[in-house]
Amino acid sequence: MTERTLIKDLSALPDGPVTVSGWVETVRDQKKVQFVVLRDESGALQLVNPRSVDDQGVVLADEPATTISALTQGSFVTATGELKHDERVKLGGIEVKLDSLTVATLANPETPIAADSGIDKRMDWRFLDLRVPRNALIFRIQTTLEHAFRTYWIERDYVEIHTPKLMASPSESNAELFKLDYFDTTAYLAQSPQFFKQMAQSAGFGKIFDIGPVFRADPSFTSRHATEYTGVDAEISWIDSHEDVMRMQEELIVAGFSAVAAKHGAEIRELFDVEIVVPSIPFPRIPLLEAKDIVAARGHVVDRNDDDLDPEGERQIAAYVAETFGHEFVFLTDYPASIRPFYHMRNDEDTSLTKSYDLVYRGTEITTGAQREHRVDILEAQAVEKGLDPHELDYYLDFFRFGVPPHGGFGMGLARVLMLMLHQGNLREVTYLFRGPTRLQP
The yes-or-no verdict on residue 172 having pLDDT over 90 is: no
Q: What is the pLDDT of residues 23-38, one digit of tens each?
A: 999 999 998 999 999 9
pLDDT at 176: 81
Q: Annotated binding site for L-aspartate: which residue ranges?
A: 172, 216, 368, 372
For residues 291 and 373, state if they share a domain: yes
CATH code of residue 155: 3.30.930.10
For residues 146 and 206, state if they share a domain: yes
Q: Annotated binding site for ATP: which residue ranges?
A: 365, 413-416
Of 105, 137, 156, the last residue of a domain is 105
Average pLDDT of the chain, as a whole number: 94
For residues 11 and 91, state if they share a domain: yes
In angstroms, the CA 170 to CA 188 distance is 6
pLDDT at 174: 60
Which among 440, 419, 349, 414 has a CA at the least distance from the CA of 143?
Answer: 414
Task: Encode the chain in three state secondary structure.
Answer: CCCCCCHHHHHHCCCEEEEEEEEEEEEEECCCEEEEEEEECCEEEEEEEECCECCCCCECCCCCHHHHHCCCCCCEEEEEEEEEECCCCCCCCEEEEEEEEEEEECCCCCCCCCCCCCHHHHHHCHHHHCCCHHHHHHHHHHHHHHHHHHHHHHHCCCEECCCCCEECCCCCCCCCCCEEEECCEEEEECCCCHHHHHHHHHCCCCEEEEEEEEECCCCCCCCCCCCEEEEEEEEEECCCCHHHHHHHHHHHHHHHHHHHHHHHHHHHHHHHCCCCCCCCCCCCEEEHHHHHHHHHHCCCCCCCCCCCCCHHHHHHHHHHHHHHHCCCEEEEECCEHHHCCCCECECCCCCCEECEEEEEECCEEEEEEEEECCCHHHHHHHHHHCCCCHHHHHHHHHHHHCCCCCEEEEEEEHHHHHHHHCCCCCHHHHCCCCCECCECCC
Total domain count for the chain? Answer: 2
**118 located within any domain:** no
Higher local confidence (pLDDT), 61 or 80: 80
For residues 370 and 226, state if they share a domain: yes
**238 located within any domain:** yes
For residues 187 and 303, state if they share a domain: yes
pLDDT at 297: 95
The yes-or-no verdict on residue 305 having pLDDT over 70 is: no
In angstroms, the CA 186 to CA 137 distance is 40
For residues 184 and 74, state if they share a domain: no
- Averaged pLDDT, 153-170: 94
For residues 54 and 162, state if they share a domain: no
For residues 217 and 276, state if they share a domain: yes
Q: What is the pLDDT of residues 383-430, one digit of tens each?
A: 999 999 998 899 999 999 999 999 999 999 999 999 999 999 999 999
For residues 163 and 85, state if they share a domain: no
In angstroms, the CA 136 to CA 124 distance is 16
Domain housing 86: 7-105
**113 located within any domain:** no
Q: Annotated binding site: which residue ranges?
A: 172, 216, 365, 368, 372, 413-416
8 Å CB contact between 59 and 52:
yes
Please tell me the pTM assigned to this model. Answer: 0.94
**187 located within any domain:** yes
For residues 142 and 223, state if they share a domain: yes
8 Å CB contact between 299 and 319:
no
pLDDT at 337: 96
Q: Which of 61-65, 147-151, 226-230, 426-430 has the lowest mean pLDDT?
A: 61-65
The yes-or-no verdict on residue 207 having pLDDT over 70 is: yes
In angstroms, the CA 224 to CA 226 distance is 7
For residues 325 and 181, state if they share a domain: yes
In angstroms, the CA 15 to CA 9 distance is 13
The yes-or-no verdict on residue 83 having pLDDT over 90 is: yes
301 confidence band (pLDDT: 50, 70, 90): confident
Q: What is the pLDDT of residues 1-29, one digit of tens each?
A: 568 999 999 999 999 999 999 999 999 99
Of 52, 76, 105, the last residue of a domain is 105
In angstroms, the CA 6 to CA 41 distance is 8
**441 located within any domain:** no
Higher local confidence (pLDDT), 61 or 231: 231
- Averaged pLDDT, 257-268: 98
CATH code of residue 76: 2.40.50.140
For residues 146 and 201, state if they share a domain: yes
Of 105, 136, 171, the last residue of a domain is 105
**360 located within any domain:** yes
**188 located within any domain:** yes
8 Å CB contact between 396 and 195:
yes
**350 located within any domain:** yes
